[in-house]
Amino acid sequence: MDDLRAQVDRRLREFVERQLHTPGGAEFEPLRTAAADLLSGGKRLRPAFCYWGWRAAGGTDEPGVFTAAASLELLQASALVHDDVMDKSDLRRGMPAAHRRFETLHGKSGWQGSAEQFGEGAAILLGNLLLIWSGEMWRTSGLPPESLAAAQPVHDHMRTELMCGQYLDLLEQAAGENTVESALRVALYKSGKYSVEHPLRLGLVLAAGKLEPWMDELCTAYGTRVGIAFQQRDDILGVFGDPARTGKPAGDDLREGKRTMLVARTLAAASAHQASTVRGLLGDRHLDERGVATLREIIEGTGALRECEDLIGDYLTEALAALEQAPITPEARAALADLAVAATSRRT
Amino acid sequence: MDDLRAQVDRRLREFVERQLHTPGGAEFEPLRTAAADLLSGGKRLRPAFCYWGWRAAGGTDEPGVFTAAASLELLQASALVHDDVMDKSDLRRGMPAAHRRFETLHGKSGWQGSAEQFGEGAAILLGNLLLIWSGEMWRTSGLPPESLAAAQPVHDHMRTELMCGQYLDLLEQAAGENTVESALRVALYKSGKYSVEHPLRLGLVLAAGKLEPWMDELCTAYGTRVGIAFQQRDDILGVFGDPARTGKPAGDDLREGKRTMLVARTLAAASAHQASTVRGLLGDRHLDERGVATLREIIEGTGALRECEDLIGDYLTEALAALEQAPITPEARAALADLAVAATSRRT
């Protein structure tokens, strides 16, 4: 796995380094640096699911698969940059969010006009570049054209679905019922499918040239479950995570008012008084440590935290059982099992 | 040309109609409707340059080329949606800009949270969908894989360059020297190349499978010149255009403080007093009819308007001369000549 990470890291560095070298293009340096800095972090989970899907379907190590897998990090980076603009977040991976970075560039340079508007505009464009590059890196990975052609519908579907998931998330914050069911749907579309299921499916189809029934079964029984558990872990980290590890302020999701599965479970189990407290504090931009502590107590006290942890455990168990049934090599089985554990028990 | 437009219109309608039909996906209807409404307008210039590039290089009429050409409208629509978010514009093609549309949806629905933030978020996602779909429609056009493979580097380059051009535009507003030269560079990257030169080049390469020297010559001698003249016309319409035709309020570019070639020429030719008036009024969000009239008088009085009109005329003449030299069929020559005139003398 360390080797996979190194392969992915190197390819991302080299790809971004090649971009934006036009004559007199020194002014694009801040875009390239912002992309490179953002891409230097990250858990590389999506490339790993893609790579091990490829190996699970009989693919052997070759340069192209590392490049194709690495391209998924560009898509993720694009989503993060735009997400931070939409949420008006300040931090990402322990560094200023891209729009804040460009806002600071504007301020430091003493430029005219609104620094905030410049920052948001530049971040929207950076996210677009990352989105465009993810497709370009995928297609120019060096894998055979027929493999890429077979996987292209999955690739297109994944990207459209990601945007739809993000839109569902906006709707859920604005108008959602905040039921466990609706929060689960958002989690599945916004994150679960594109973090685990689709990268895995891409790897499988790239290697096999088509989706065999057992692959589809694996993507659902293992991929969907790991994806949902992954997002539940994300929900928990957004409330209880250690800022030194997550790179986000403590309780940031509470301050942003995210309507997660954890919150939905809390509201479902809360007394009238507790529910009213949660509704009053959630989304308060100026929520202090005490407010965070109050919400954490309710989330623990209602049993919602325990429920989420149990669900993660159950999903992981079921996913690993499904993995046992799949006709894949012992090596791929072991790696996908490790990945499932890593994705759902992570602390960053 | 009417037939080409009908072909492009139909394909865009059909493509967008096929999107976002997931189970229980009624909530995506506003995204699809916003895309369809936006795409119902537009001059279809980019598809026309692409189509006639194809014909100029010997391509014959076939369904795939209409689809590939039409996909360029999705890229343009994506840029417009994001541009309006970045500029905080209210109107586009005579209708509310996408972010205002979603803001209204939020308000009308009585949803919670900031309607403005919801509108911007949804518009960023809509722009992303249009960007993703433009690539998907291009690749699934039905043209032979080898033609698409030959044109792909041009396609990738065009999209990255468009984002860079938009970034240059942000920089020019914030920190530019506002010289004629710097304004010309922005116009070339932001609009000229991707409106004329690249669509033309795409059509040529799609048909020929490679870029012959005469094609590159045509893209520069004809394409670049028509592209710059096209953008100069845009600058003039942004100040002197008829709102009923442009779908934008009168003098909107002045209110937004756009640092166009027209403005750069005005400042270069202005007296100290005139320059100070221009700098004082340009970018005033509340600029009234009288302010617009004052700026128009200065732009005309300094001779800047005349200069821009002359430049458009010169570029058009040179482009048409270059077209005469190209080894293409009389039919393609005539159509590209008509297109050059249409692109540079348009009133919308």
| Confidence check: pLDDT of B247 > 90 | no
CA distance B304 to B268: 9
| Confidence check: pLDDT of A22 > 90 | no
What is the three-class DSSP state of B239? helix
Among all residues of chain A, which has the CA nearest to that of B115?
A174
Among all residues of chain B, which has the CA nearest to that of A170?
B118
Q: How many CB atoms lie within 10 A of CB B39?
A: 21
Average pLDDT over residues A83-112: 93
Both tokens of residue A175?
Answer: 């108008």
CA distance A72 to A67: 9
Residues of chain A with Cβ-Cβ distance to B175 below 8 Å are: 109, 111-112
pLDDT tens column, A190-225 = 888 999 999 999 999 999 999 999 999 999 999 999
| Confidence check: pLDDT of B84 > 90 | yes
pLDDT tens column, B121-142 = 999 999 999 999 999 999 999 9
Alpha helices in chain B (DSSP H): 2-18, 29-39, 45-56, 63-87, 98-109, 115-139, 145-175, 180-187, 198-208, 213-218, 225-240, 243-246, 252-255, 261-269, 272-281, 289-301, 304-325, 330-345
Residue pairs spanning A and B at CB distance below 8 A? 126
Q: Do domains A1-143 and A151-348 have the same CATH topology?
A: yes
CA distance A191 to A185: 10
Q: Does B168 touch chain A (CB under 8 A)?
A: yes
- Among candidates A125, A156, A174 on the partner chain, residue whose Cβ is nearest the Cβ of B136: A156
The DSSP letter of residue B25 is G
Tell me the residues of chain B between 121 and 140 that have a Cβ less than 8 Å away from chain A.
121-122, 124-125, 127-129, 131-133, 135-136, 139
Among all residues of chain A, which has the CA nearest to that of B82?
A124
| Domain segments of chain B as ranges | 1-143, 147-348
- Among candidates A28, A86, A145 on the partner chain, residue whose Cβ is nearest the Cβ of B145: A145
Among all residues of chain A, which has the CA nearest to that of B145?
A145
- B147-348 fold: Farnesyl Diphosphate Synthase (1.10.600)
Q: What confidence category does residue B346 fall into, taking pLDDT thresholds of 50, 70 and 90?
A: confident
Phi, psi values for residue A271, rounded to 5°: -75, 165
Nearest residue to B7 via CA among B37, B51, B59: B51
Q: How far is A136 from chain B (nearest CA, A)?
A: 7
User: B295 vs A195, A226, B253, CA distance in Å?
Assistant: 53, 61, 11
Look at domain B1-143 and name its CATH class. Answer: mainly alpha
CA distance B204 to B213: 11
A151-348 is classed in which CATH architecture?
Answer: Orthogonal Bundle (1.10)
- In SS3 terms, B266-283 reads as HHHHCCHHHHHHHHHHCC
pLDDT tens column, A228-269 = 999 999 999 999 998 888 877 878 889 888 889 999 999 999
Residues of chain A with Cβ-Cβ distance to B133 below 8 Å are: 160
CA distance B29 to B46: 27
Higher pLDDT, B92 or A294: A294
The pLDDT value given to residue B316:
96
Higher pLDDT, B110 or A92: B110
| Confidence check: pLDDT of B149 > 80 | yes
How does the average pLDDT of chain B come out, rounded?
93
